[in-house]
Amino acid sequence: MPDISLTTVLVLCAAALAAGWIDAVVGGGGLLLLPAMLLGLPAGTSAAYALGTNKAVAIVGTTGAAVTYARKAPVDVRLAVRIGLAALAGSTAGAFVAAGLSTEVLKPVVMVVLLAVGVFVIVRPAFGTAPATTPVSGRRVLAAIGLAGLGIGFYDGLIGPGTGTFLVLALTALLHLDLVTASATAKIVNCCTNAGALATFAWKGTVFWELAALMAVFNLAGGMVGARTALKKGSGFVRVVLLTVVFALVANLAYEQWLA
Q: Residue 73 falls within a domain, yes or no?
A: yes
Q: Residue 247 falls within a domain, yes or no?
A: yes
| DSSP state for residue 130 in the 8-state scheme | S
Chain centroid, CA 258 distance in Å: 24
pLDDT at residue 259, rounded to an integer: 80
pLDDT at residue 99, rounded to an integer: 56
pLDDT at residue 163, rounded to an integer: 83
- Give the mean model confidence (pLDDT) for residues 232-258: 85
**For 57-66, 112-121, 137-146, 188-197, which range has the lowest pLDDT when averaged over its residues?**
112-121
pLDDT for residue 57 is more than 90:
yes
Percent of the chain with pLDDT over 90: 33
**For 13-27, 40-54, 86-100, which range has the lowest pLDDT when averaged over its residues?**
86-100
Distance, in Å, from the CA atom of 121 to the CA atom of 243, rounded to the nearest integer, reads: 8
Q: Residue 55 falls within a domain, yes or no?
A: yes
Distance, in Å, from the CA atom of 178 to the CA atom of 147, rounded to the nearest integer, reads: 18
Nearest one of 74, 193, 78, 86 to 143, comparing CA atoms: 86
Q: Residue 1 falls within a domain, yes or no?
A: no
| Inter-helix orientation angle 179-204/77-98, to 10° | 50
pLDDT at residue 15, rounded to an integer: 93
pLDDT at residue 75, rounded to an integer: 85
pLDDT classification of 133: cutoffs 50, 70, 90: low
pLDDT at residue 98, rounded to an integer: 62
- Give the mean model confidence (pLDDT) for residues 154-159: 79
The answer to whether residues 62 and 223 touch, using CB atoms and an 8 Å cutoff, is: yes
Q: Which domain holds residue 35?
A: 6-259
Distance, in Å, from the CA atom of 162 to the CA atom of 32, rounded to the nearest integer, reads: 11
pLDDT at residue 150, rounded to an integer: 94
Q: Residue 227 falls within a domain, yes or no?
A: yes
Write down the mean pLDDT value for the chain. 85
Q: Residue 78 falls within a domain, yes or no?
A: yes
pLDDT at residue 185, rounded to an integer: 93
In the chain, the number of structural domains is 1
Q: Looking at per-residue confidence, does 126 or 216 come out higher? A: 216
The answer to whether residues 29 and 16 touch, using CB atoms and an 8 Å cutoff, is: no
